[in-house]
Structure 1
């Protein structure tokens, strides 16, 4: 079966975005707008996966989900794939909700402690490089970086890909850009006017409480579109059952 792993926004976030898009949908009948009830943030597309791999896949992804606290996200901004001037897909971006939230005043900076031997003696630049490399490498292996920390979406996607690879469910492609697909064009189209219309949108914050494994049944949905079927729901930040 064709599978993907995704975060699914709750009904409130879906309705808010759908209401914002309603006049734009009416103005763009030539676009193939996606069904709001199918909106999701794909972390990894796995393509065809044999059913006998599902138990191992669910176990591996459950372990990944348990390592991270549920991230709080919002839908914001817009763009197009592969580019705005020959677009085939129109999308809305997804980002941490805190990135647009007011920040609390910073506490007074504490006096610097003497540098200890080892890694803490690195310059700030090299420490930052090392820690970013370490996080990315461990995520690719499906290992925790800071258990219980809210998931960085790129890191979470890398961990999902690593867990899928480990059980032979090889993900498709390597690029990750968190988004919700809004519409598709039948042919390459200059889409800058659509991006300008949607880009100012900033949706309400929502918490992605689960990783979802979803089967895509091509041509079985309304208007010969795919029909989605949830195969597994894996809670974020809680150890797998059993």
Structure 2
């Protein structure tokens, strides 16, 4: 008997993940912020991701449909040349690093992913895509730490890297106290060679 059966619903999203060396590069740039703002709720480095479509709470029975659709999306799209650059915040409470590089390709991929999800009969809130990497969140009574930490990332420019896989990710957000944890449900390699647009792909935020 399975002591840990799959829950009847899953909170899921579709995402990209930077490679380890790109994440390590950003983590080094964040050292002053880690030391200066320990009260922020910092995301684990291994959980850093770029969300393409947040699908919310879905029945577990939807996952096989998503697997088929997303495998096709990955196979039909090229790898993208992206990079991490600078920092910013949403509503003074969520700290992020920006995404640079082939943003046209990134938006095309996200649009295709969302259309394929809808073709599976899955309804979700189709938010406007603002490509970013979420780093930390502040407490409700702290309106200064996140903007200050974002200012410390102004000059950060990470090295370019290729997207390797399209990820279907599950999270335990809303399932109890403690930090958010993520796990890959499945990931698929992109099927074509990397898009190359030259140095002008990295134009800043």
Number of equivalenced pairs: 181
Deviations 1:166-193, CA, capped at 9 Å, x for gaps: 1133233421111100110112624443
Larger Rg over CA atoms: 1
Q: Which residue of 2 aligns with 1:26?
A: 35
- Verify the 8 A CA contact 1:88 1:189 in the aligned structure 2: yes
Shift of 1:220: 7.0
- Verify the 8 A CA contact 2:14 2:53 in the aligned structure 1: yes
Q: After TM superposition, which residue ranges in structure 1, 4 or more long, deviate above 6 angstroms?
A: none
- Verify the 8 A CA contact 1:220 1:227 in the aligned structure 2: no
1:232 to 186, 195, 203: 186
Q: Which residue of 2 aligns with 1:184?
A: 137
Larger RCO (CA under 8 A, 6+ residues apart): 1
- Verify the 8 A CA contact 1:219 1:227 in the aligned structure 2: no
1:49 to 48, 58, 65: 58
- Verify the 8 A CA contact 1:220 1:226 in the aligned structure 2: no
Q: 1:228 to 1:192 in 2, by over 3 A?
A: closer
- Verify the 8 A CA contact 2:95 2:147 in the aligned structure 1: no
The whole-number CA distance in structure 2 between the counterparts of 1:6 and 1:91 is 15
TM-score normalised to structure 1 length? 0.69
The whole-number CA distance in structure 1 between the counterparts of 2:53 and 2:19 is 20
The whole-number CA distance in structure 2 between the counterparts of 1:60 and 1:70 is 17
**Unpaired segments of 5 or more residues in structure 2?**
1-9, 193-205
1:194 to 149, 162, 176: 149
The DSSP-based 3-state class of the residue aligned with 1:54 is helix
2:167 is the counterpart of 1:162: no
C-alpha RMSD of matched pairs (Å): 2.1
**Unpaired segments of 5 or more residues in structure 1?**
100-150
Q: Which residue of 1 aligns with 2:169?
A: 214
TM-score normalised to structure 2 length? 0.81
The DSSP-based 3-state class of the residue aligned with 1:198 is coil
